[in-house]
Amino acid sequence: MSTNTAILLITCPDERGLVATVAEFLYRHGANILHADQHVDVAAELFFMRVEWSLADFDMPLADFAAAFSPLAEKLTLQWRLESSDQRQRVAIFASSYDHCLADLLYRHRAGELHCDVPLVISNHEDTRHLVEFYDIPFHLIDVTPEHKADAEATQLALLEQHQVDLIVLARYMQILGPHFVAKYPARIINIHHSFLPSFLGARPYHRAFERGVKIIGATSHYVTDSLDEGPIIEQDVIRVSHRDQVENLIQKGRDVEKMVLSRAVRWHLEHRILAYGNKTVVFD
């Protein structure tokens, strides 16, 4: 972004006047609103809002925002968080043997498409070491076995804390993270699953799609929870296949979809466009 901006994300019970009230608060403090979007989940009676404004003429430091905004937030029962566009998040990428999603993310990061820092890549296989080191990013090999999984995750968590990681991206990392690990990063672990969820959860989805004779395959990016492949969905996309396609064709075609779906989810998270609630998400334009 060329302009230093602040982003306010709000979740609260729906009622009249919320947009006007928040806009009026920002206006009083000199905010020039650049983007605003809102959504109402009628069934849940919840209101969601994302508003972004230029800090050029804003009359208070962001460090003072909480004290000024909290009385209004308490009155309206707002759950809210404030972000700054110039604050680069630190992203750790986890990978295994498959390298297509990893390569795509590393390229997009180098090209400036992903506004973040990547201080490390963690893998349970050596296969991607040369790729990662080509981009001058430290590569950490941590073997994961059923007998020593807890020790492996403790090592991983120590590295993440050492590097002050904000977001974890599972770029076809073929391991299930334990509940203790997931609890450390709520709504901050993004996974790519190579099927159009909720179809074909778990392992070998392309093989099961082939056996079922589907005409469309897809990919799904989602936040990781304790329930395998059932976390809040961020993005999905599909591609058509036919009876002429074999499993190998499905895998090849699916890789392109996986890369696009994962990179979109990561970019939207970095741009603070996602609000997770229940087992759903709101993704703002």
Residues annotated catalytic, as ranges:
229
CA angle 60, 62, 64 (to 5 degrees): 65
CA angle 272, 277, 278 (to 5 degrees): 155
**Which residues, 6+ apart, have CB-to-CB distance to 20 below 8 Å?**
none
Cα-Cα-Cα-Cα dihedral sign, residues 272, 42, 234, 111? negative
Rg (C-alpha) for the chain, rounded Å, is 21
The region that residue 275 occupies, defined by phi over 0 for left and psi between -120 and 50 for alpha, beta otherwise, is beta
Q: Which amino acid is at 211?
A: E
C-beta pairs of 41-45 under 8 Å, 24+ apart in sequence: 41/14, 41/277, 41/280, 41/282, 44/277, 44/278, 45/13, 45/14
Q: Copy the structure tokens of residue 32.
A: 């020039």
284, containing H or E segment = none
Is the Cβ–Cβ distance between 142 and 181 less than 8 Å?
no
**Which residues, 6+ apart, have CB-to-CB distance to 27 below 8 Å?**
none
Helices 100-110 and 247-270, axial angle in degrees (round to 10): 40
